[in-house]
Structure 1
Amino acid sequence: MDTTETIFFLFIFLFVEYSFAQLCSDSSCHLGEPKIRFPFQLQNLQPKSCGYRGFNLSCDGSDQTVIDIPNSGQFTVQAIDYQTQRIWLNDPDSCLPKRLFTLNLSASPFSGYFTQNFAFFNCATFDYTKYKFNPIGCLSGHNYTVFASSSVIAISFLTSRCSLISTVSAPVQWTFSEPMATSDLSEDILLSWDNPQCGWCESRGGRCGLKSNSTTVTECSLVSRRGFPRGARYAIIAGAGVPALLFVMGFLCCICRKVKRFTGRRLPIVDSSSSAAVAPQTLVITGGLDSSTIESYPKTILGESRRLPKPNDNTCTICLSEYKPKETLRSIPECQHCFHADCVDQWLKLKASCPICRNSPKCTSVDIQVS
């Protein structure tokens, strides 16, 4: 087996190994919904072995990502931060304050990241407009208004004028700017989890997962981020699976043999004195962009808000990874499409066109004389 065949079969081996790893790749209910990966598992879209016990998610009829909290019911998942191990939830019926009365996290792997005590009041005959109070619309009626506050001054004021409904410990972060302030509690509840501990792995660019033949022991794999460049990862993911791989193996083996036979033949000798001289031919090969041109394209360091020139471009289409804060992005001036800087740099060095719209910016050519 020569060097070419050795490299070829090594690549096939790595391809097969990586294909099996992709069984637990990121998934989502719909474009714009949170990316789901370990410790969460999206039912009917990911195998059960891809998630940790108690972290099951599903897609509802509107393609929203939902989670079922034991003894508390179903909530929509607004966002997940895998590095800090936090999750934001809200009510699918748009009345989160009502759900806070029955929220019980004791049977779940989650706990409140921030917790504040809110007093709820029923105010029947009270003109709240001059106090700039913020009522809870979904709990109020025609003849009464419901307020909630964690401000000691506001609670004291409302106690003398309204009826106390209940005091609830809510996992929300609310900072009142004025002493006399109430909240409609429509913001997401913020929860966190301690086990499994995968935040350190995510922060180092790795992926967490269960060890083989284990339901509780996890391990951190850095192969998917560091073992392969993002450009190579994109090419590998583009494969069509093991059946197509076997077909490609046979086809490439056939091509390799034909190339070896062709290169092994001797080229005919042409007599320079013959009148039928062969004229030189010029072969133009269009390559990618030079480094100076690529570096001239604008770069952006993504902030915590992850705001982009095009709001829907929240995923790099080269490596298929979602953008994260503090990552460096580069955009192509002609079309304003954004990508990870290291992804698009590798792409443009090989192919002088946008990976999405195929528009070709300034490119370079190499002229080769073939005599």
Structure 2
Amino acid sequence: MDTTKLIIALFFIFFFYLLLNSIVGTASASASEFCSSSLCGRTEPVIRFPFRLPDHQPVSCGYPGFDLSCGAFNQTLIELPNSGKFTVQAIEYGNQNIWLNDPQYCLPRRLLELNLSGSPFNGVFFQDFTLFNCTFDYKRYKLDPIGCLSGENYTIFASSSERAIRFLASKCSLVATVAVPVQWEFFQPVTTSDLSDDIRLSWGWPRCRRCEARGGQCGLVSVNSSVIECRNIRRHGLPRGARYAIIVGAGFPAFLCLLGFVYFICGRVICCSRWRQRPLMEFSVVVAPQPTITTAGLDGPTIETYPKTILGESCRLPTPDHNICSICLSEYMPKETLRSIPECQHCFHAECIDEWLRMNPSCPVCRNSPKSSPLTQAA
């Protein structure tokens, strides 16, 4: 039975090696997930990856360029490298948008010097406003001045209306024309504005839209890595703690059963080795025919015939109302590649619709079946 004892000893060593790796892996995962949300005040935005508060959250809980701070009045602040500090009014993690304003309540002055280079943020939609320095009595014209830029003997106005700009240009001196990151794409020309509304910016990386759409949260794989992973995806069933308890509770009895089974097999092998002089039983193996697997979707050549479109900075589509991919539920962004179905003109992310059509030969929106190639029909 020396052979049996040796096999059992080797099995114990291998089992505890796997158990040790599992414990270390679980500890590493727990350490990487130790990133709780934070906030500066009760009514302030929730702060989590890719943003972080350096005084409250570890370095691994945020992404470079997304550090925030808390002001004297519990305001959430962000500092842009070439534009200074702004208050964070709101953060939309699903669509990767952030709304900013001026902590000194004079956003127009900040817009005159706004420079987003060096930061991970860009404007989503822009509207040009022209500023004028005027000295006439504006009250009779029902114009809205920019109070924080005006003085006792002069008034500053901002307008995006060509008609109003022509009027102000005839009576006032030009200050500047600035591109304001407004909140909405579809806007009407404004006669005059005090430019006090929040500006809307967006970040392109790290890309966490799909993770957020699945109910998860992005995070770094490890402290010294820049690789992003999606964590805490909501799944139906038992909580993670309960699953771990079941695994640990059932693991030890299962190990004992497996150990007994190995011991029995080793005994049978030793017993059978004593009867090698007996002829072996011949047997045949019947191989069952493998079922033919057919693909229900479209073939690659057919999918590649559907037109592709690379979005420009304006993100204009043939159908403006369809600005969200119906498959991954993410908003279209500049430079992304879209593919449309010719029969119904519905657009999707190219990678999303390609994967869909390989499994489903119909449009995800209207359920109409696109025309298949002869190769697909023959299959």
Per the TM alignment, residue 63 of structure 1 is displaced from its structure 2 partner at its CA by: 1.3
Distance 1:219 1:22 in 2: 11
After superposition, residues 210-225 of structure 1 pair within 5 angstroms as 210-223=220-233, 225=234
Identify which range, 168-177 or 95-104, moves more after superposition: 168-177
Aligned residues: 219
After superposition, residues 350-365 of structure 1 pair within 5 angstroms as none
Aligned partner of 1:55: which letter? F
**8 A contact 1:131–1:180 mirrored in 2:** no
1:183 aligns with 2:176: no
**Residue in 1 aligned with 2:215?**
205
**8 A contact 2:32–2:220 mirrored in 1:** no
Distance 1:141 1:221, change over 3 A: same
Picking from 162, 165, 182, the partner of 2:172 is: 162
Distance 1:31 1:41, change over 3 A: same
Name the SS for the 2:122 alignment partner: strand
Distance 1:102 1:62 in 2: 25
Distance 1:185 1:128 in 2: 17
Picking from 12, 20, 25, the partner of 2:36 is: 25
**Residue in 2 aligned with 1:192?**
202
Aligned partner of 1:47: which letter? P
Distance 1:218 1:140, change over 3 A: same
Deviations 1:145-166 (A, max 9, x none): 1000111111111000101011
Distance 1:218 1:14, change over 3 A: closer
Aligned partner of 1:169: which letter? A
Distance 2:82 2:192 in 1: 28
After superposition, residues 1-371 of structure 1 pair within 5 angstroms as 20=31, 23-124=34-135, 126-173=136-183, 181-223=191-233, 225-226=234-235
Per the TM alignment, residue 47 of structure 1 is displaced from its structure 2 partner at its CA by: 0.6
**8 A contact 1:52–1:215 mirrored in 2:** no
**8 A contact 1:153–1:180 mirrored in 2:** no
Q: If the length of structure 2 is used for normalisation, what is the TM-score?
A: 0.53
Q: Max radius of gyration: which structure?
A: 2
Distance 1:180 1:190, change over 3 A: closer
Q: Identity over aligned residues, as a percent?
A: 58
Aligned partner of 1:81: which letter? E
**Residue in 1 aligned with 2:318?**
none
**8 A contact 1:151–1:176 mirrored in 2:** no
Distance 1:197 1:89, change over 3 A: same
Distance 2:204 2:26 in 1: 34
RMSD of the alignment, in Å?
Answer: 2.7
Distance 1:197 1:53, change over 3 A: same
Runs of 5+ unmatched residues, structure 1: 1-11, 237-371
